[in-house]
Amino acid sequence: MDFKSLQQLIKAVSESNLTSFEVEQDGLKIKMKKEIEVVNIVEKNSSPIMHETTVDTQLELENNSKNTMRKLPERVEAEAYCSEDLCTINSPIVGTFYSSPSPDSKVFVEVGSKVKRGDVLCVIEAMKLMNEIESDVDGIITEILVQNEDMVEYGQCLFKIKKD
C-alpha cells in the first residue's frame, strides 16, 4: 500500500461513523480506532458558557517494525452569550428539537413565557436519548429560533431570553 492510498484510507475512516477499522494487505496490518469523549460544561451565571467536545482519534500501524502513529485530539467549542439584558440558549448537542414532552402535550415555553433558572425549555433527542435543555437565567422568552422536530446543530442558538 503506497503513502497516498494510506492517506486516503485514514481520511475516509476519520470522516466516517466507524469507531474501529482493521485491514491487512501485503504483510501490512492497519488498525484504526476512534475514541470519542464529550464534555459539557454548564455554568449558571451571566458570563459566557463554554461547551467543549474532545474527539481523540488513534491510528496504529503494525508491520515488521511495529510503527505507531497518533493523531492529536481535535477540539470544537461553542459559546452561549449573555449581555446585560439578553441571553441566548444554544444547543449542547446535535439532535432533534422537540418543543413539548410528547406530541399531544402542551409546549414547554412560548414567546412571552416567563422562565426561571432550571426550567425545561425543550428536549433534544440524540441517539434515542431525550435530553432536557434548561434555562440558565430568569427571564422572558423573546424568540424561539427553531421549529418543533427541526434538526439542530451543536452550538446552534435555540432561544433568546430577556433577563429579569
In this predicted structure, the answer to whether residue 140 has a pLDDT above a threshold of 90 is: yes
In this predicted structure, the answer to whether residue 65 has a pLDDT above a threshold of 60 is: no
Which pLDDT value is given to residue 6?
A: 72
Contact 88, 159 (CB under 8 A): yes
Do 124 and 143 belong together in one domain? yes
In this predicted structure, the answer to whether residue 158 has a pLDDT above a threshold of 50 is: yes
Do 149 and 133 belong together in one domain? yes
Do 92 and 56 belong together in one domain? no
pLDDT band at 36 (very low <50, low <70, confident <90, very high): low
Rounded mean pLDDT, 14-25: 76
Residue with cell 413539548: 100
Domain harbouring 159, CATH code: 2.40.50.100
- Please say which residue of 21, 44, 77 terminates a domain: 77
Q: What is the number of domains present in the chain?
A: 2
Residue with cell 428539537: 97
pLDDT digits (tens, 9 = 90+) for 37-53: 555 555 455 444 444 44
Q: Give the CA distances from residue 89 to residues 77, 80, 161, in Å, rounded to whole numbers and listed in that order.
A: 15, 6, 8
Rounded Cα–Cα distance for residues 87 and 49 (Å): 10
In this predicted structure, the answer to whether residue 145 has a pLDDT above a threshold of 70 is: yes
Residue with cell 477499522: 21
How high is the mean pLDDT of the chain? 75
Full domain range(s) for residue 133: 81-163
Cα torsion angle, 36, 44, 142, 119, sign: positive
Do 113 and 66 belong together in one domain? no
- Please say which residue of 27, 50, 77 terminates a domain: 77
- Enumerate residues 6+ apart whose C-beta is below 8 A from 65: none
Residue bearing the bigger pLDDT, 36 or 121 = 121
Do 140 and 94 belong together in one domain? yes
Do 70 and 85 belong together in one domain? no
In this predicted structure, the answer to whether residue 56 has a pLDDT above a threshold of 50 is: no
Backbone φ, ψ for residue 3 (5° rounding): -60, -40
- Please say which residue of 28, 61, 77 terminates a domain: 77
Which pLDDT value is given to residue 1?
A: 67
- Enumerate residues 6+ apart whose C-beta is below 8 A from 69: 59, 60, 61
Cross-strand bridge partners of residue 122? 133
Rounded Cα–Cα distance for residues 164 and 82 (Å): 12
Contact 12, 49 (CB under 8 A): no
DSSP letter string, 69-84: EEPPPEEEEEEE-B-S
- Enumerate residues 6+ apart whose C-beta is below 8 A from 76: 52, 53, 55, 154
pTM over 0.75: no
Rounded mean pLDDT, 24-42: 67
Do 13 and 86 belong together in one domain? no
pLDDT digits (tens, 9 = 90+) for 66-108: 444 433 322 222 345 678 889 999 999 999 999 999 999 999 9
Q: 117 is written with which cell numbers?
A: 433558572
* Percent of the chain residues topping a pLDDT of 90: 41
